[in-house]
């Protein structure tokens, strides 16, 4: 997968100043040992660094200037074929109750020159953010399976159609977990049948084991997802088996999937905290992520199942996982139970993650804290990404209409603050 | 050129202990000064960044126009990255609790004086260092805070926090001082239209008014906080240029404001617009004199706060239970909830001296009186989380 044909622009090159700093950073403790080099004498010049303690000082120096290189990710190229605009602000909304408050869409708050400036801003905190982020819409599956009201098949299908037409590249359609456990998605087969002809998006489905996998394939699924946990207790209580047993199950699934050229996505739940065990060590998450990756999952979605994470523990977790799984194979799946998902997503983007799971209108409450929210709302994520100048190919206006559609059917208010704000903003400025 | 590069990469790869065959290469760029190349190994993921190589390898790269190359193991790289993202966050953040003022003035129901006082006392006992107590804006405009004098009187002896009050002009300032205020706040806008529609005068006129207040305050040794509204967007004008915000900030700073609070009044900001705005302001006002006041109308407040912390901002305004809806988008939320902010800061290892449990009690108290649920997700989650694990 050589990308020798795609050099970065020269503006991405580090300044000589930075190079000096990096030079100083190349101390002995961080360098591979010379003997192992097999190239005779020291192959990396630089200041001689005798003690390994000085390495930490060098790290600190680094914080002053940003680390100049961002990894060149490949996600963008896959989606170049999409021509949909990402900011549908000025589109004619036609009949519909959504008011045309394009006015407040954040892209209005950046002029053309700002867009350019933002990519070349001296701020190190924005520079590392990927240019394109793939949003994996989990509303029809993760969202609906956690709603107390079951939605009729026709509505589910309409929801999926609408989501696809918003430009979302991936829409998780349903789940082949036994209806005994997830009655809300018992119509999986019928849903798959009805969305067969949808072409513009990928429609993965959850499969808990070989049986579910076979049912999914028979129903026409072209992509599946499996579901492991970083917490032993949660694994046992949620899917009735240990982590190792679940991984063994999924190895069988991935084998079968490979034979049929069906991509498999791996979820890791409790990536930060577990309702039973509390804090989960990053190394555990890295272990499970690596196992899923090695068995053939093309993408690993790291889920903060109970929403307890903050950037303070998301960063060490991502550090550990990204050391063993390439960043472009990772996705983040944050829950907004404590309102922390957007800052967690921001820090993940800054770390180089470029795939984010979210749920239209914030569908799907938290099963552990009654009345508390669960999934982060896709509209809020898209709003933030638009503001950051990140391309998503998602039409925010259409997305909000879709969110309103499903919220009405569930008889509940939208869980998306962006949707609520854009729907009700008045043009008049009232006094503060 | 391609194959020479690949050869060079191959020899570099083999030189690294534990490396097997190259599985994947990414060519990032080449120039006369530096080259960055990503190499992934089948055992460890290693990325190649910029540095200097010895002659054997260097000669190969010099041919390609490269003069520097170094290899850093991926786990080390990640740690640097992580540290850089969190390392600049201040160790201590001061939270300015604006619930009793900014919160209550934007609630449709008026709360009795007794309840306001109890709320303030509960907030102080949670450790919040500053609690904005009330406002001396005319009750004609802000009926919810018509009892400003009574509130001030009742909290005269409450210790443990500072109680700034809003004062729109010299008259309000004098009334505030007479009522016992020891700290005041003034309120300018970065948007001309908003200034005219909100406080009925231009930005320049408002600054003149506040200059008069600042002179009086200086004489009385009373600190002034300066608020700037519409620092990202205005409901009338749309985008607000960072330079405008910097201009108003500098003026407030020059007239003696001890702190400038930058307010995203309609909550439209994201880090993409907040960061350039902060950069502009930080050019003219020292960062330790700045505070951020984000509204959560679009759910963006916490990520904006995170970006601000990364830039070194160490003072954050918030409102218990997210009191105070947005006057511009009916039914939409306004202030960011103190509980959610404290939760995030705690998770970041930042000291606040605030007891989350006690803030939640205060939030619970006021929400019961307002007859509506808390807008704080943290408070909602912590109140109702069950110990049992239910099936997903």
Please list the alpha-helical segments (H only) found in chain B: 2-14, 55-63, 74-87, 113-125, 148-154, 170-178, 192-199, 203-219, 242-254, 271-282, 301-310, 338-347, 356-370, 377-384
Kindly report which listed range (A56-60, B29-33, B59-63) carries the lowest average pLDDT score: B29-33
Structural contact between residues A365 and A372, judged by C-beta atoms closer than 8 angstroms: yes
Contacts of A108 in chain B (CB under 8 A): 233, 238-239
Its sign, for the CA torsion B97, B101, B105, B108, is positive
Half-sphere exposure of A88 (CA within 13 A, CB side): 22
Q: Is the pLDDT of residue A427 over 80?
A: no
Q: Which residue of B has its CA nearest to A313?
A: B347
Mean pLDDT, residues A270-290: 96
Mean pLDDT, residues A151-162: 96
Half-sphere exposure of B50 (CA within 13 A, CB side): 28
The DSSP secondary-structure symbol of B82 reads: H
Q: Check CB contact under 8 Å for B297 and A2.
A: no
Structural contact between residues B326 and A421, judged by C-beta atoms closer than 8 angstroms: yes
B310 against A426, higher pLDDT: B310
What pLDDT is recorded for position B81?
A: 73
Q: Which residue of B has its CA nearest to A3?
A: B26
What pLDDT is recorded for position B316?
A: 98
Range B248-253, long-range pairs (CB < 8 A, 24+ positions): B248/B188, B248/B189, B248/B190, B248/B203, B248/B207, B249/B281, B249/B284, B249/B285, B249/B290, B250/B284, B250/B285, B251/B188, B251/B207, B252/B186, B252/B188, B252/B207, B252/B210, B252/B226, B252/B228, B253/B226, B253/B284, B253/B285, B253/B289
Q: Of the candidates A148, A221, A210, which has an alpha carbon nearest to the alpha carbon of residue A188? A: A221
Q: Is the pLDDT of residue A358 over 70?
A: yes
What pLDDT is recorded for position A366?
A: 78
Cα–Cα distance for residue pair A406/A184, rounded to 1 Å? 14
What pLDDT is recorded for position A64?
A: 30
Residue-averaged pLDDT of chain A: 77
What pLDDT is recorded for position B385?
A: 54
Structural contact between residues B383 and A370, judged by C-beta atoms closer than 8 angstroms: no
What pLDDT is recorded for position B325?
A: 78
User: Pick from B85, B327, B331: which is nearest to A315 by CB?
Assistant: B85
Mean pLDDT, residues B127-134: 97
Q: Is the pLDDT of residue B245 over 60?
A: yes
Contacts of B268 in chain A (CB under 8 A): 104, 106, 109
Q: Is the pLDDT of residue A302 over 80?
A: yes
Mean pLDDT, residues A417-432: 62
**Residue B368 phi, psi (nearest 5):** -60, -40
What pLDDT is recorded for position A345?
A: 98
- How near does any CA of chain A get to the CA of B137, in Å? 10
User: Pick from B26, B299, B349: which is nearest to A72 by CB?
Assistant: B26
pLDDT digits (tens, 9 = 90+) for A96-137: 333 333 334 444 444 444 444 444 445 778 878 999 999 999
**Residue A140 phi, psi (nearest 5):** -60, -25
Chain B (237-266) residues lying within 8 Å, Cβ to Cβ, of chain A = 238-240, 265-266
User: Pick from A324, A370, A418: which is nearest to B384 by CB?
Assistant: A370
Cα–Cα distance for residue pair A314/A282, rounded to 1 Å? 9
What pLDDT is recorded for position B352?
A: 97
Q: Which residue of B has its CA nearest to A413?
A: B331
Half-sphere exposure of A93 (CA within 13 A, CB side): 19
> What residue has token string 């190919």?
A393
Q: Is the pLDDT of residue A270 over 50?
A: yes
**Residue B232 phi, psi (nearest 5):** -120, -50
- Site from A14, A306, A339 to mutate, B interface, most B CB atoms within 10 angstroms: A339
Q: Check CB contact under 8 Å for B84 and A366.
A: no
Mean pLDDT, residues A171-186: 93
CA dihedral B124, B95, A414, A383 (to 10 degrees): 170
The DSSP secondary-structure symbol of B180 reads: T
Cα–Cα distance for residue pair A192/A182, rounded to 1 Å? 16
Residue-averaged pLDDT of chain B: 82
Angle A153-A156-A159 (CA atoms, 0-180°, nearest 5)?
Answer: 150
Which entry of A49, A270, A274, A366 is annotated as an active-site residue? A366
Give residue A253's pLDDT band: very low, low, confident or very high (50, 70, 90).
very high
Cα–Cα distance for residue pair A370/B287, rounded to 1 Å? 41
Structural contact between residues A329 and A298, judged by C-beta atoms closer than 8 angstroms: yes
What pLDDT is recorded for position B103?
A: 93
| Kind plus residue range of the DSSP H or E element containing A356 | strand A355-358
What pLDDT is recorded for position B76?
A: 61
What pLDDT is recorded for position A52?
A: 36
Mean pLDDT, residues A51-61: 35
Q: Check CB contact under 8 Å for B52 and A322.
A: no
pLDDT digits (tens, 9 = 90+) for A402-414: 999 999 999 989 9
Would you please indicate which residues of B are annotated as catalytic (active-site) residues? 326
Q: Of the candidates A54, A198, A396, A411, which has an alpha carbon nearest to the alpha carbon of residue B298? A: A396
Determine the length of chain B. 392
pLDDT digits (tens, 9 = 90+) for B74-130: 556 667 778 888 989 999 999 999 999 999 998 888 999 999 999 999 999 999 999
Residue B92 burial by CB count (10 A; 0-12/13-18/19+): exposed, middle or buried?
Answer: exposed
pLDDT digits (tens, 9 = 90+) for A205-238: 999 999 999 999 999 999 999 999 999 999 999 8
pLDDT digits (tens, 9 = 90+) for A312-341: 999 999 999 998 898 999 999 999 999 999
Tokens of A330: 């990772």
- How near does any CA of chain A get to the CA of B117, in Å? 22
- How near does any CA of chain A get to the CA of B253, in Å? 23
Terminal Cα distance for chain A, rounded: 57
Cα–Cα distance for residue pair A381/B138, rounded to 1 Å? 40
Our answer to whether residue A366 is catalytic in this structure is yes
- DSSP 3-state of B202: coil
Cα–Cα distance for residue pair B130/A265, rounded to 1 Å? 48
Tokens of A263: 């991509």
Structural contact between residues B187 and B227, judged by C-beta atoms closer than 8 angstroms: yes
- Site from B4, B64, B272, B382 to mutate, A interface, most A CB atoms within 10 angstroms: B272
Q: Is the pLDDT of residue A29 over 70?
A: no
Cα–Cα distance for residue pair B196/B45, rounded to 1 Å? 58
Tokens of A340: 């922390």
- How near does any CA of chain B get to the CA of A161, in Å? 26
Determine the length of chain A. 432
Q: Is the pLDDT of residue A11 over 50?
A: no
Mean pLDDT, residues B322-332: 78
Its sign, for the CA torsion A70, A75, A78, A80, is negative
């Amino acid at each position: 997968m050589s990308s020798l044909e795609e050099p970065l622009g020269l503006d991405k090159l580090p300044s000589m100043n930075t190079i000096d700093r990096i030079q100083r950073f190349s101390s002995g403790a961080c360098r591979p040992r010379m003997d192992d080099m097999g190239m005779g004498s020291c192959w990396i010049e630089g200041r001689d660094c005798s003690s390994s303690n000085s390495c930490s000082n060098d790290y600190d120096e680094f914080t002053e200037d940003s680390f100049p290189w961002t990894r060149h990710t490949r996600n963008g190229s896959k989606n170049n074929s999409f021509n949909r605009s990402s900011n549908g602000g000025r589109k004619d909304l036609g009949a519909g109750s959504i008011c045309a408050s394009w006015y407040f869409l954040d892209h209005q708050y950046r002029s053309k020159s700002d867009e350019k400036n933002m990519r070349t801003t001296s701020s190190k905190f924005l520079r590392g953010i990927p240019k394109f982020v793939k949003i994996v819409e989990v509303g029809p599956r993760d969202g609906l399976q956690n709603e107390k009201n079951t939605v009729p098949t026709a509505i589910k299908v309409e929801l999926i159609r609408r989501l696809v037409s918003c430009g979302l590249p991936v829409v998780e359609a349903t789940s082949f977990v036994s209806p005994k456990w997830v009655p809300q998605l018992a119509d999986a087969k019928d849903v798959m049948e009805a969305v067969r002809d949808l072409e513009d998006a990928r429609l993965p489905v959850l499969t808990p084991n070989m049986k579910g996998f076979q049912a999914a394939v028979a129903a026409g699924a072209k992509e599946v997802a499996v579901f492991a946990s970083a917490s032993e207790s949660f694994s046992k209580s949620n899917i009735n088996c240990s982590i190792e047993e679940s991984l063994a199950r999924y190895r069988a699934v991935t084998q079968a999937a490979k034979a049929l050229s069906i991509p498999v996505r791996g979820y890791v739940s409790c990536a930060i905290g577990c309702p039973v065990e509390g804090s989960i060590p990053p190394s555990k998450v890295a272990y499970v992520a690596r196992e899923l990756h090695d068995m053939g999952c093309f993408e690993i979605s790291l889920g903060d199942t109970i929403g307890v994470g903050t950037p303070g523990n998301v960063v060490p977790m991502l550090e550990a996982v990204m050391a063993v799984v390439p960043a472009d194979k990772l996705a983040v799946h944050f829950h907004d139970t404590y309102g922390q998902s957007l800052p967690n997503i921001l820090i993940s983007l800054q770390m180089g993650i470029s795939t984010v799971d979210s749920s239209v209108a914030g569908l799907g409450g938290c099963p552990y804290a009654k009345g508390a929210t669960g999934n982060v709302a896709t509209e809020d994520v898209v709003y933030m990404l638009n503001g950051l100048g990140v391309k998503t190919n998602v039409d925010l206006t259409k997305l909000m209409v879709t969110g309103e559609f499903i919220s009405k059917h569930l008889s509940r208010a939208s869980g998306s603050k962006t949707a609520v704000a854009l729907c009700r903003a008045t043009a008049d400025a009232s006094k503060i | 050129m391609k194959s020479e590069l690949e050869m060079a990469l191959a020899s570099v790869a083999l030189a690294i202990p534990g490396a097997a065959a190259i599985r994947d290469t990414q060519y990032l760029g080449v120039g006369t000064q530096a080259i960055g190349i990503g190499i992934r190994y089948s055992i460890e993921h290693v990325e190649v960044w910029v540095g200097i190589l010895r002659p054997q390898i260097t000669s190969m790269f010099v041919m390609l126009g490269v003069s520097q190359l170094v290899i850093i193991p991926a786990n080390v790289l990640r740690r640097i990255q992580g540290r850089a993202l969190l390392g600049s966050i201040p160790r201590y953040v001061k939270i300015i609790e604006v619930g009793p003022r900014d919160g209550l003035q934007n609630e449709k129901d008026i709360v009795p004086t007794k309840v306001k006082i109890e709320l303030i006392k509960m907030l102080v006992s949670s450790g919040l260092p500053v609690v904005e107590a009330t406002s001396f804006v005319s009750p004609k405009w802000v009926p919810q805070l018509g009892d400003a004098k009574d509130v001030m009187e009742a909290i005269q002896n409450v210790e443990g926090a500072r109680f700034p009050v809003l004062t729109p002009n010299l008259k309000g300032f004098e009334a505030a001082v007479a009522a016992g205020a020891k700290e005041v706040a003034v309120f300018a806008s970065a948007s001309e239209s908003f200034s005219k529609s909100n406080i009925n005068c231009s930005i320049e006129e408002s600054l003149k008014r506040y200059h008069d207040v600042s002179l009086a305050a200086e004489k009385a040794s009373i600190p002034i906080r300066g608020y700037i509204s519409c620092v990202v967007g205005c409901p009338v004008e749309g985008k607000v240029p960072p330079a405008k915000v910097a201009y108003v900030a500098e003026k407030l700073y020059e007239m003696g404001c001890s702190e400038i609070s930058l307010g995203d009044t309609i909550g439209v900001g994201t880090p993409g617009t907040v960061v350039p705005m902060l950069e502009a302001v930080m050019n003219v006002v020292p960062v330790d004199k700045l505070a951020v006041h984000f509204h959560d109308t679009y759910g963006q407040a916490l990520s904006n706060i995170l970006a601000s912390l990364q830039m070194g901002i160490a003072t954050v305004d918030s409102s218990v239970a997210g009191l105070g809806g947005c006057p511009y988008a009916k039914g939409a939320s306004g202030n960011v909830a103190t509980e959610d902010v404290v939760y995030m800061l705690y998770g970041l290892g930042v000291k606040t001296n605030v007891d989350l449990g006690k803030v939640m009690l205060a939030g619970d108290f006021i929400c019961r009186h307002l007859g509506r649920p808390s807008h704080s997700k943290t408070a909602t989650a912590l109140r109702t989380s069950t110990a049992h694990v239910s099936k997903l």
